[in-house]
Structure 1
Amino acid sequence: MTAFDRLTRLVPPPSRPQWANGDWDAVEAALGLQLPADFKQLVEAYGVHHFADFLTPLAPFGGRDLLVGPAKRLLDQERGFRDRYPEECPYPFYPEPGGLLPWAGTDNGDRVCWLTDGEPDTWTVVCWNPRGWYYDAHPVGAVEFLAGWLAGDISTTVFPDAGEFAESDEDHEGD
């Protein structure tokens, strides 16, 4: 079973996902890099679905620019802190080579990123709390991380486990 199959068994995709379709070539041209295939599959199936009422993929389509614009501003937003406290920033930031590129966000303001080093389908997921400046790396892709987090097989020190939330995605099936 693929990670995507596992995810769809854990959380069936909505019948009409919001902001799920668009021009991937244009998104990748704007970013200047290719995105992992599993992320494209995730967005096309779920759009901006709110997993466990907490974690939302940053779909690059629809009413708001959740992926490209914020990604392009990331380095500028974090440069001052990194210049003052380089020891607190173990990773470069996109658009720097191999930099962190957020692909999801949480209700707490945490970011779930890729470390954009190597081929896109091999990128590592890094959970990041920009308020406390701590990171947690997971050598898996976006969908495998999401399915593992939802199933309780993957934990992060950055945000709570999915099982800690009172409502489940099943309560919102078809949203």
Structure 2
Amino acid sequence: MNAALARLTQLITPPSEPRTTDWDAVQEQLGVTLPTDYKDLIHAYGGSNWDDYLYLLEPGCPNDNYDLIEWEDQQTEALEGLWEFEKKPDELADASSRVIPWAHHRQRRMPLLAREAGPDPEQWTVMVNEARGDRWEHYPMTCTESLLAALEGDVQSDILSSRFPLTTHDYRQLTAV
């Protein structure tokens, strides 16, 4: 367990039943190897809602609205259309860059996990995009590090809601609807 996940489990106790995922099948479907950090976070918490604002996307989530595979398909198409009219952020300018949504915000803002140039998923970092706008913020940290930093109030953002995080954290695992 990485240090950020260890600290997160102290802050918010994960469910007693960890999620199991066929990562080989997921990665084959996406055509990319996902960071261990993300896989460990999903194993511990699964698809979930954090402070009634941030939704952690899970491949095969029991609630279809938060399935990573579905979101990745939608976001890829949406971003391709967006970048016909807007400049890509510098962090994504390289042709091999790709955005993989690992979470989204209550206002259905854009995805958070960016695959930067290079094949090593352990080096991927987090980006946040405003809803219906061209502002992006880049955080040189993993998804678990960024979630923990956001929950602890250590992320300064002009895009995330000023009401996030809550003073007393609220966590819900997503279930079938």
Same fold? TM cut 0.5 = yes
Write the letter of the residue equivalent to 1:86.
Answer: E
- Percent identity for Structure 1 against Structure 2: 29
Write the letter of the residue equivalent to 1:82.
Answer: W
Give ranges in structure 1 of 5+ residues lacking alignment.
none
**SS of 1:7 mapped into structure 2:** helix
Write the letter of the residue equivalent to 1:144.
Answer: E
Change (3 A) 1:163 1:108: closer
Q: Report the TM-score when normalising by structure 2.
A: 0.81
**Cα deviation 1:80-105 (Å, max 9, x = unaligned):** 3321x233x32659xx6211111101
Residues of 2 paired with 1:2 and 1:101: CA distance?
23
Residues of 1 paired with 2:127 and 2:30: CA distance?
19
Answering whether residue 13 of structure 2 is matched by residue 37 of structure 1, we say: no
Q: In the alignment, what sits opposite 1:97?
A: 96
Tell me how large the CA RMSD over aligned residues is: 2.6
- Map 1:1-175; keep pairs closer than 5 Å: 2-16=3-17, 20-63=19-62, 64=64, 66-83=67-84, 85-87=85-87, 89-90=88-89, 92=92, 97-117=96-116, 118=118, 119-161=120-162, 163-165=164-166, 168-169=169-170
Write the letter of the residue equivalent to 1:160.
Answer: S
Q: Report the TM-score when normalising by structure 1.
A: 0.82
Count residues with an aligned counterpart: 167
Give ranges in structure 2 of 5+ residues lacking alignment.
none
Stretches of 4+ aligned residues off by more than 6 angstroms: none
